[in-house]
Chains A and B, each alone.
Chain A
Amino acid sequence: MKKINSIYIVDDDPITVFGIRKMLDSIDICDNISAHGNGKLALDDIKKSLDNKGQVPEIIFLDINMPIMDGWQFLEEFISLPLEKKVRINIVTSSIDPFDMKNWGLYKSKTHHIITFNNKPLKRDHLKEITKAA
């Protein structure tokens, strides 16, 4: 299987970060996995990479409820970045709020990036399914 260059995990819950990282390691798909505590930290990192002509993540695991900048605010800014290459964004949340489902539909239609909506807890097989370059 072709390896992924870079994966971001954006979540303020260390246990979730630990879980996703552990499962990704077990399928040995990527050597460059980084975790970010909220949307702003992740966005700042991506912007910095862009400025330095560095690497932009191919896959982002995105939580919604986070301090400072939540998942939606992150998406709002991310889709406006000048990225030609498609990025796969996997929303991972424990929310069952219909508002979040609606928002997902909204953002999906607004961007060329691939956005999926996944409820916690993530299972290994499902994770394998959604960890592919877009």
Chain B
Amino acid sequence: MENRSTLVRNYNYMLRGSQTLSSNYLIKQLPKATVFLDKRLQVVHASDSWIAYFDFSNDAVFGKNISELFGEISKDWKTVLNDCLKGKSSDVGVERYSDNENEEKWFEWSNIPWYDENENIIGIIIQTDDITTRVHNELKLEKLEVLLREKSEIAKIGSWEYDILNDEITWCDMTKTIHEVPLDYAPTIEKGIDFYKQGYSRNTISMAVNKAIENGTAWNEKLQIITAKGNEKWVIGAGKPIFKNEKLIGLIGTFQDVNDQVLSQTKTKENEHLLKTLIDHLPLNVFIKDKESRKVLVNKSECDYLGVKGPEEVLGKTDYDFYDEETARITREDDLYVMNSKTPILGEERGSIKKNGEAITFLTSKIPLIGDDGGAYGLVGISMDISNLKQKEEELRDLINVTSLQNKKLVNFAHIVSHNLRSHTANFSMLLDFLIHEKNEEEKKNIIGMLIDASDNLLETLENLNEVVAISTNTTLEKRPINLNEKIKTVQQNLAAFLLNNNAKIVNSITDEVYIKVVPAYIESILMNFVTNGVKYKDPERDPIITLSATSNNGYTILSIADNGMGIDLKKYGDKLFGMYKTFHDKKDSRGIGLYITKNQIEAMNGKVIACSEVGKGTTFNIYFNEKD
């Protein structure tokens, strides 16, 4: 600015007394845009650069008033120009101007009085500088500063600067606010470091600053400070050295309050940790599957259950990798159902078979994961292995079945007893009543004969009942392995005459190696009963053939005794076949006790008997001997 004024003064000197010149070549060629105005503010001289800068045409400039040329000029400038005419040299000013194309231009002006040789003011010399770019840059900078300030306020980022030579540190207002110190607070580097929490934070920052000064390294650390008001805060302190001519002259850095973020992150982490601990230690299998039923999360139980060391062996795989085809197909169907219908499956029982053939029963729940778009993007699965429970349940059910069966048998037996005894006593009572009132001697004898019959019947009934009770209560009888064929041979010998008389044949396909675990006394009676029955109820049209065979299945040896007799309609009589005193054929020697006793004997050995029959074809009895207990 000093230079420019000097220059103007030189022109002034040069031009003194030359005001009459219409065109001064010196002025015309001045490199700086310059204009000479007379006292009426009319243009007397102008440099070419001035005319060009404002885009005026040559003839339209000279003799024109400055206001005419610029349109309206600012009040300030007008005052300055008038002052100048009174001999007051002035500073510079800035004026805005719109050119012919309406483009905004900024120029800086400086004016000085124009003197003639007698030191009289005859006008004003004005020099202008195009400062459009500078103005624009300044505006931009101002904007940037505003922006930066706002940003720093929003992000709670402050800055600081340390001048090593003068050992001076400056904090911006935000940095002070974060430290909760007044805005006139004067920090030092030591005080700054002391704000950091003792221990890790303070050590870290001390070392970082030292290293930056010694080695010129930058730092960026998340640390804790204790503010002037005693609050603990998480901050990110960053700093880097500044060099001038390769010499370290200071440090500059930012200081950000991240307390809220850190606390919420910590909270999130805690929650995550809690959730993970919970999921991992739940005694349930927990997994998350994606849309393709690939597992994307599994907990420890699921890993243990699948027999893998860690989740990485499971993630990305589907049930097809761990279960048999059928099981995997069913689980995939469940998955699709849950995801498509967006309805959870809760606590449903599912069986599954692992690749190694192990069968498992689960209680499974699947809950769809619904995304922002309303569609399911996967599911959460929770399942519990209830195989043990299931087995217990089955055992319990078996036990209940046995108990209720025994109970039923007991009630049935009670009815049999009461019925049979009652029918005999009723006869006694009736016959005795007759006897008392009977006059006829012959009839009396007849009645006494019947009383004897009734008495015999009662005795026989009691014996039969006794036999049944003996079977059901005789738990001392030990089961031991018996060679089946040997027993069959014994029975065959005992029945030799009976078989011969009936032209009966026994076909035995049982091998000599078959042993069954039975009570020896019972097996003979059982064989005897079935064989005799088969012959007794033969079809009158054909000779009886009894076929014996044996198979083994599921802990049972199954003895089949098939005859070609008349058969029995099981639909009609099935529930009574093994009942006491039930006879179905009009045969003189059928007492209706044999099958009842046989069945009791089989059941006393934990076995069972199943009959199938077709009228006119024959009957087959399958006797299950329990080999386990």
Contacts and interface: CB of A to CB of B under 8 A. Distances in A.
A121 B592 CA distance: 24
A121 B429 contact: yes
Interface stretch (A47-55, A81-89, A94-102): A94-102
Contact of A68 (B422, B434, B453, B583): B583
Interface string A26-42: 00000000000010000
Interface string B576-606: 0000011111100010100000000000000
If over half of B's interface residues share one DSSP class (helix, strand or loop), that class is named, otherwise mixed; here it is helix
B157 to A, nearest CB: 92
Contacts of A13: 423, 427
B586 to A, nearest CB: 6
A121 B584 contact: no
B123 to A, nearest CB: 140
Binding site secondary structure of chain A: loop
Contact of B434 (A19, A67, A73): A19
Interface string B533-568: 000000000000000000000000000000000000
Nearest to A124: B433
Contacts of A15: 427, 430-431, 450, 453-454
Interface string A3-23: 000000000011110110010
7 contacts: A15-B430, A15-B453, A65-B581, A67-B585, A67-B592, A119-B426, A120-B423
A67 B586 CA distance: 8
Contacts, number: 61
B276 interface: no
A14 B449 CA distance: 12
Contacts of B509: none
A33 B589 CA distance: 28
A74 to B, nearest CB: 13
A122 interface: yes
B419 interface: yes
Contacts of B585: 67-68
Interface of B: 415, 418-420, 422-423, 426-427, 429-431, 433-434, 450, 453-454, 572, 581-586, 590, 592
A122 B429 CA distance: 10
Interface of A: 13-16, 18-19, 22, 38, 65, 67-68, 73, 94-97, 119-122
Contact of B415 (A16, A19, A97, A119): A97
A68 B569 CA distance: 11
B546 to A, nearest CB: 24
Given A15-B431, A96-B418, A97-B419, A67 B426 contact: no
Contact of B419 (A16, A22, A96): A96
B430 A19 contact: yes
A67 B590 contact: yes
Given A15-B454, A18-B450, A67-B583, A120 B422 contact: yes
Given A15-B427, A16-B430, 10 more contacts: A15-B430, A16-B426, A19-B427, A19-B431, A22-B434, A67-B585, A73-B572, A120-B422, A120-B430, A121-B430
A14 B584 CA distance: 19
Nearest to A120: B426
Contacts of B450: 14-15, 18
A67 B584 contact: yes
B584 A68 contact: yes
B566 to A, nearest CB: 13
Max chain A C-beta neighbours (<10 A), residue from B419, B429, B583, B584:
B419
A68 B537 CA distance: 13
A119 B431 CA distance: 16
A12 to B, nearest CB: 9
Contacts of A73: 572
A38 B572 CA distance: 16
A19 B433 CA distance: 10
A13 B430 CA distance: 13
Contacts of B453: 14-15
Contact of B427 (A68, A119, A121): A121
**What 9 pairs across the A-B complex have the smallest Cβ distances?**
A120-B426, A67-B583, A94-B423, A94-B422, A121-B426, A121-B430, A19-B430, A15-B427, A121-B429
Nearest to A38: B586
Nearest to B587: A67
A68 B586 contact: yes
Contacts of B454: 15
Contacts of A16: 423, 426-427, 430
